[in-house]
Structure 1
Amino acid sequence: MVTASALAVSLAAAAAFPAAAAATPYADSGATAQRAQLQQLARKLVEAGAPGVIVRVDDGRGRPVEIAEQAAWTRRDHLLTAGDEFRMGSNTKTMTATLVLQLVAEGKLALTDPVDKWLPGKVPGGKAITLRMLLNHTSGLFDYTDDAALRPSMLGRDRRRWTSAKLLAVGVKHDPLFAPGTKWSYSNTNYAALGAVLERVTGASLADLVRERIARPLNLKHTYYATDAAWRGPHAHGYEPDAAHMPPGVPAEFGRLAGARHHGHVDVSDNSPGWGGAAGAVVSTTQDWSRFSTALMSGRLLPAAQLAQMRATVPVDSQHPDGPGYGLGIQTGTHPCGTFWGHDGGMPGYLTTTLTDRTGGRSATVLISTELWAEFEADPKIAKAAQALQMAVTCTMFGKPVPNAAHAG
């Protein structure tokens, strides 16, 4: 959970449509045509089985395109709107990294600090693991979300409040995957450690840090760090198929999700994302996240030196050093329509992809209100429709026409 699965949809889409030169222009270049195309693709994604879809695209040249589509059976729970709050999952990592880099800029932390300096004895081998390694997933630490102890919380059956320290303790019970700094492997334990460091250095909670250093200065009224299941505003409901309708590729234990059941689905909206911690507990909206992305990439939240550090990437796949890269809490990849920056997030009921360009002048967010199909690559029909939508969203963000193949999605 809280994985890099959603951005994989973007990258898979890029692979599926490799030639931007094969693109056809819009029927006209206006926002009406853009909106109609994106709305059609969002509707196709719902028809393919997604309970709901929210899209927001800002190409930096006019009024953003905002779309909300939902399956008819979900309307009894909530009428979905483009302004609804939703679980951001691992997009949280970009905010956590921003907080760390702010403290670096203030001289309170250094990227070269060993984690043992701030959490003595809490991380085996912590003298050789730097904060930078935690931020860019080169520490070698085991991912705590792969431990069975987290499963009841992921399923909404255990409502305990997880702290950064407790999440970190689960992860470091396991042997490291490799020597620090020698490879790349996505691990939420890295960000549990960073959450504990932030709390130790500042004496403040992560919820307070997100509010005082990011949400309040940027006037993000629907962005907050969640420690329990409570929502603060109208919110998108998240769903997963019930046990009888779960795709065969999803492990059987995920058929035991807590929540109200109807129409072959479980409403997981009231399950707490708190187990995501500094790796995945933030709630936001498409508009708030666009404002955050713009502020971050344009240098409003970080000085130039720290923003450059954030953008310094390591290859996600060592066999393809020129392929997708991971910086400090942010990912990048080359798409047929442009080079994007951003992150993604996945937890039951909520699959999100957030994108921007290098300057923050353009941004896009896609929410799909079901996630396990992507986590376990279990539903080719939804995957195909999601790829087509993501391709169109990304090209629209860059002001480019969409490759022909995407229209058939």
Structure 2
Amino acid sequence: MSRCDVSSRRAVRPRWPRVLVAAVPAVGLALAAAFPAGAVAAPAGNETQARLRQLAREVVAAGAPGVLVRVDDGRGRPVEIAEQAAWTRRDHVLKAGDEFRMGSSTKTMMAVLVLGLAAEGRLALTDPVDKWLPGKVPGGASITLRMLLNHTSGLYDYTGDPAIRPSMLGTDRRRWTPEKLLAVGVKHKPLFAPGTRWAYSNTGYAAIGAVLERVTGASLADLVRDRIARPLGLDHTYYATGRAWRGPYARGYEPDAAHMPPAVPAAFRRFAGPRHDGHVDVSGHDPGWGGPAGAVVSTTRDWARFQAALMSGKLLPAAQLAQLRTTVPMDARHPDGPGYGLGIQTAAHPCGTFWGHDGGMPGYLTTGLTDRTGGRTAAVLVSAEFWAEFEADPKLAKAAQALQTAVTCAMFGKPVPGAS
């Protein structure tokens, strides 16, 4: 859930294009790409798994509290890896099936909900925001639901407003609704005229959440449960409505103020939460400030099942799936570079073209990738996020990039760098 503006924090968006695809312009699939998980090629499964585990350990050695990797190349048993720093084991022994906060990958689910309602004729992507939220969005007569979903609305990103910062740091436990988050974002002047450019905006998804609740009369938590999680059997996937977890979960950490990398601004150096070993456990924070842009909880296994169902056409009719895959350039200077569809990103990697999303909230840096058909999936969690949010730790970034490259290639059944 992040923004590119260091004057604020950027927490729910996938702003991390740097790691995902070194071969793609810097605006690529942000952080997600930085940590995509890959699947192991059948002929060299043992070697690939060993190499991925080695790279995950190197990410931990570089400073990450923990790493989860799941790779399924569609040709055999998925590879699952859990590695963690020794000091974290007193809190929890990390396991492959642990729940974690998905951050901006929530947007993919919000897009699926909108497209499902569009298929039922209950709304249309061409609907102006004013049709559903009259007077709530300045210029809402010219902003369509499609623009909200593909980040071409021009709306200022609410995560850049100082009012959100205490919730990000866990020092303010107020409950944020989609309407309240939307109100924070629209206090600011739009960045550009609707439909003329691309700029990541969590505010657009706050508006989407408010529209979904207005159209259906149901809460977002109920919509995720009834329209996605239950039909797919995702037992550990839910829209969080508070701090509580429903199953075993990965602990998320950030360095305490004394150990925070110098590049992190002073306003973002003090987290609430239990402290030990130079870190703060932020897994008890309420992700409600992420709302429709970042409040979903899942696991690597559940997310793989979700992506496979989505891309194979089990969740949406063909017409709506085609709309989801219709992309706009994320950088006008590179029209053939990384693209953003409806709640989903895509980019060409040397090992194959991937689809997916990344997400970041304090303590949780996530990526979920798949191919166009859903036959191959990969997911990665790194249980710390601010080092990437503010590009504050080159050593950790380098280790993460190596893991990303290996994981992406493994997902496509291609040779993993360094594997025999």
TM-score (norm 1): 0.95
Q: Give the AA of the match of 2:104.
A: S
Q: Give, in whole Å, the separation in 2 of the partners of 1:265 and 1:355.
A: 29
Cα deviation per residue 1:133-171 (whole Å; 9 max; x = unaligned)? 000000000000100000000001111110000000000
- Answering whether residue 13 of structure 2 is matched by residue 3 of structure 1, we say yes
The Cα of 1:47 is off from its aligned counterpart by 0.2
Cα deviation per residue 1:249-273 (whole Å; 9 max; x = unaligned)? 1111222111111111111000011
Question: Where do 1:76-155 residues align within 5 Å?
Answer: 76-155=90-169
Q: Report what 2:333 is aligned to.
A: 319
Contact 1:13 1:391 in 2 (8 A): no
Give the total of aligned pairs: 396
Contact 2:41 2:410 in 1 (8 A): no
SS in 2 for 1:30: helix
Calculate percent identity across the aligned residue pairs: 78
- Answering whether residue 254 of structure 2 is matched by residue 244 of structure 1, we say no
Q: Give, in whole Å, the separation in 2 of the partners of 1:300 and 1:355.
A: 17
The Cα of 1:34 is off from its aligned counterpart by 1.4
Q: Give, in whole Å, the separation in 2 of the partners of 1:31 and 1:55.
A: 15
SS in 2 for 1:221: coil
5+ long unaligned stretches in structure 2: 1-10, 27-39
Q: Give, in whole Å, the separation in 1 of the partners of 2:160 and 2:405.
A: 30
Cα deviation per residue 1:347-368 (whole Å; 9 max; x = unaligned)? 1000001100000000000100
Question: Where do 1:122-201 residues align within 5 Å?
Answer: 122-201=136-215
The Cα of 1:12 is off from its aligned counterpart by 3.2
- Answering whether residue 297 of structure 2 is matched by residue 283 of structure 1, we say yes
- Answering whether residue 317 of structure 2 is matched by residue 303 of structure 1, we say yes
Q: Report what 1:358 is aligned to.
A: 372
Question: Where do 1:26-105 residues align within 5 Å?
Answer: 29-105=43-119
CA distance 1:66–1:6, shift in 2 (3 Å): farther
TM-score (norm 2): 0.92
Q: Report what 1:22 is aligned to.
A: none
CA distance 1:227–1:12, shift in 2 (3 Å): farther
RMSD between aligned residues: 1.5
Question: Where do 1:384-399 residues align within 5 Å?
Answer: 384-399=398-413
The Cα of 1:14 is off from its aligned counterpart by 5.6
- Answering whether residue 306 of structure 2 is matched by residue 267 of structure 1, we say no
Select 2:267's aligned residue among 242, 253, 274.
Answer: 253
CA distance 1:74–1:13, shift in 2 (3 Å): farther
Q: Give, in whole Å, the separation in 2 of the partners of 1:147 and 1:177.
A: 14
SS in 1 for 2:369: strand
SS in 2 for 1:29: helix
Q: Report what 1:19 is aligned to.
A: none
Q: Give, in whole Å, the separation in 2 of the partners of 1:374 and 1:75.
A: 23
Select 1:333's aligned residue among 313, 336, 347.
Answer: 347
The Cα of 1:6 is off from its aligned counterpart by 4.5
The Cα of 1:248 is off from its aligned counterpart by 1.1
Q: Give, in whole Å, the separation in 2 of the partners of 1:97 and 1:65.
A: 29
Q: Give the AA of the match of 1:42.
A: A
Q: Report what 2:8 is aligned to.
A: none
CA distance 1:343–1:225, shift in 2 (3 Å): same
Q: Give the AA of the match of 1:170.
A: V
The Cα of 1:335 is off from its aligned counterpart by 0.3
Cα deviation per residue 1:221-246 (whole Å; 9 max; x = unaligned)? 00000011100000000001111111
The Cα of 1:29 is off from its aligned counterpart by 2.7
Contact 1:5 1:374 in 2 (8 A): no
SS in 2 for 1:66: strand
Q: Give, in whole Å, the separation in 2 of the partners of 1:236 and 1:345.
A: 15
SS in 2 for 1:359: coil
Deviates more, 1:3-12 or 1:138-147: 3-12
The Cα of 1:86 is off from its aligned counterpart by 0.1
Q: Give, in whole Å, the separation in 2 of the partners of 1:302 and 1:317.
A: 28
Contact 1:14 1:336 in 2 (8 A): no
Q: Give the AA of the match of 1:195.
A: G
Q: Give the AA of the match of 1:11.
A: V
CA distance 1:329–1:289, shift in 2 (3 Å): same
Q: Give, in whole Å, the separation in 1 of the partners of 2:97 and 2:204.
A: 31
Deviates more, 1:247-256 or 1:61-70: 247-256
